[in-house]
Amino acid sequence: MEELSLADWWTALRKRVEKVARKSFDSMVILTSWSIWLERNPRTFNGEERTMMQLVHKISEEASAWAPNLRRTRLVMAMSSGSMVW
């Protein structure tokens, strides 16, 4: 399987999302990326880390706060396979 950069993955998958849901999709990609970045800092500098499920919960909570802007899209994270299902 070919390895894609985040930008390539995002662009390719975005084309498969209905046009009315693309802003929500973009927001979820940005939110998830930002959350991973914020997780990186305590891991790197303080030796602290959350479990994957704690991080998913944190992202889910933040997405709920963004909910008015994400209304058109329902995101289900299938953590067992590491994929996102729309």
pLDDT tens string 55-76: 999 998 888 887 765 554 444 4
Residue 68 pLDDT? 67
**Angle between helix 22-46 and helix 52-65 axes, rounded to 10 deg:** 130
In a domain, 59, yes or no: yes
Residue 39: inside a domain, yes or no?
Answer: yes
Number of domains comprising the chain: 1
Write down the pTM of the prediction.
0.70
Residue 84 token pair = 């996102």
**Could you list the residue range(s) of the whole structural domain that residue 62 is in?**
6-85
Flag whether 1 is in a domain.
no
* pLDDT tens-digit series, residues 4-52: 899 999 999 999 998 888 888 898 899 999 999 999 999 999 999 899 9
Q: Return the exposure string of 9-24: e unless at least 16 CB atoms fall within 10 Å of the residue's CB, then b.
A: ebeeeeeeeeeebeeb
Q: Which SS3 state, helix, strand or coil, does residue 78 take? A: strand
